Amino acid sequence: MKKPIKLIALFVVLQLFAFSTFAQDKAKQIDQLLSKYNEFGQFNGSALVSENGKVIFKKGYGFANMEWDIQNQPNTKFRLGSISKQFTALLIVKLAEEGKLKLDVPITTYLPDYPKATGDKITIHHLLTHTSGIPNYTSAPNFFKDKSRDPFTPEEFVKTFSSLPLEFTPGEKFQYSNSGYFLLGYIIEKVSGKSYEQYLQETILTPLKMVNSGYDHADIILKNRAAGYEKKGKQIINAFYLDMSIPYAAGSLYSTVEDLYLWDQALYTTKLLSEKSMESLFKPYIKAGNGFYGYGWFLEEEPNGDKAKLKVVEHGGGINGFNTVISRIPADKNLVVLLNNTGGTILDEMNAGIRAILYNQPLKQPKRSLAFELLDVFSEKGTTAGTTTYKKLKNDPTYGIKEEDINRVGYELLQNGKKKEAIEVFKINTETFPKSGNAYDSLGEAYLADGDKKMAIENYTKSVALDPGNENGKKVLAEISK
């Protein structure tokens, strides 16, 4: 028997009302969560969340410009850092789809001036998957001090790392390298006959109507651009200048949370690539951390209570003054975008909290950062006062000990010449996170800077044992053990 049309219409209306009510409730929870992170000085930026492809939340927190008290909004433009890589990857795959390049041939096919001793062994696929073995230029000693402020053409900058020996045989393993994605931008220019910026605009930004996105230039007046800041404990300072010719195809784009939603939605279609080519972006090519790496994306599985694990496709970014993340769950067309303009912060934790809200899972409440308190005390009053403060606050339930934050404080102290203080801070991390290879690596570095080779060797050894993929730790250990 057919149901009356009016009854069907009523059922549809009730479904829409229920969805709207649930979405409003989740939006309220997300706002409460991010407001608390903002209150604790851990989030200053813009956020957007979509569920089942529909935006349920977007809002700005804190200030885009602190000197003029201009607030962040959903249309505020932020530097993206390494989120830029997914755009570069799509441009390369687009050229391959059009038959203008091949992914499995040596890069010297398109860059004949690149040293053949290494270039003949490296394919574009290796660059896309961070398996080329090319040293990461941002990890070079004194990179930020010696090179980051100077303008370079792509050709000039490639020469700063192209003659370096490979760190491993191409294809052997994953090792994140901005150098590889810089080269991909240069290849795009050579093959397309256009600048990276122009090809990006014509191929992605214009077709998707991403009018608030582009290649950032410090000298251009850009409406609604967020200023970049860094935190020093509780103090906020202007971020150090970085010439945007240097991040290039690895990290020089800017966008808004709203434009990144347009980008996310386009990835479910064939507007930019064929279905087969689009799928190639999200294949698990190489083991990377707790998941895999595709072309410009990390692919992971995250727990979801008693339910099946969620397949997450995401990438983060960090660049002077900015910290970003875009996280997608394709099966449900869910999206989280967080763009922050006060330097490094715990966006992964915030992202996990929002995901818990979306899937009605238990939510861990934000806590104040113990690291913020420690930096000021260790800097101004020394190790004894700092250690006393740590012992006093570590059991205070309103404070949280976050590995990233403590690590950042340790390096801040180390850079300021406070080596003993840095050692004590890094020791807090190893005690709190005894299974973290990175924590022991940082402590080893501090001991080495302080001239204590014995303790440096001991901690680097622990680091490598916990994290066999720590190639830099192995390299340092080999040098100081001679």
CA dist 332 and 52 (Å) reads 6
**Nearest to 70, CA basis, from 225, 214, 216:** 225
CATH number of domain containing 309: 3.40.710.10
Establish if 101 belongs to a structural domain. yes
Note the pLDDT of residue 18.
46
pLDDT over threshold 90, residue 147: no
Q: Residue 305: inside a domain, yes or no? A: yes
Residues 353 and 250 occupy one common structural domain: yes
Q: Does residue 345 share a domain with residue 406?
A: no
Q: Residues 368, 222: contact at Cβ < 8 Å?
A: no
**Structural domains of the chain, count:** 2
Q: What pLDDT is recorded for position 20?
A: 58
**Residue 14: pLDDT over 70:** no
Please give the pLDDT value at position 4: 61
**Helix then strand then coil, % of the chain, to nearest 5:** 45, 15, 35
DSSP state of 236: E
Q: Which of 432, 393, 207 is nearest to 410 (CA)?
A: 432
End of a domain among 324, 358, 392? Answer: 358
Arithmetic mean of pLDDT, 172-192: 97
155, 156, 163, 175, 253 from 159: Cα distances, Å: 7, 6, 7, 21, 23
CB 307 within 8 Å of CB 362: no
Q: 146: which 2 tokens? A: 């010696």
User: What's residue 17's pLDDT?
Assistant: 47
pLDDT in the model for residue 251: 98
Range of the domain at 438: 368-480
The reply to whether 208 and 339 lie within a common domain is yes
Give the domain-ending residue among 358, 387, 413. Answer: 358
Give residue-wise pLDDT tens across range 298-351: 999 988 876 678 999 999 999 999 999 999 999 999 999 999 999 999 999 999
Please indicate, yes or no, if residue 30 is contained in any of the structural domains: no
pLDDT given at position 141: 81
Give Cα separations from 46 to 38, 89, 116, 425, 455 (angstroms): 11, 25, 45, 31, 43
What pLDDT score does 7 carry?
59
Is 105 part of a structural domain of the chain? yes
Q: Report residue 248's pLDDT band, with 50, 70 and 90 as the boundaries.
A: very high
Indicate the pairing of strand 334-340 with strand 322-329. Answer: antiparallel
In a domain, 44, yes or no: no
Q: With contact defined as beta carbons under 8 Å apart, do 233 and 375 qualify? A: yes
Same domain, 334 and 414: no
Q: What is the mean pLDDT of the chain?
A: 93
Q: Are residues 97 and 155 in the same domain?
A: yes
Name residues whose C-beta falls within 8 Å of residue 228's C-beta, 6 or more positions apart in sequence: 79, 238, 239, 319, 320, 321, 322, 341, 343
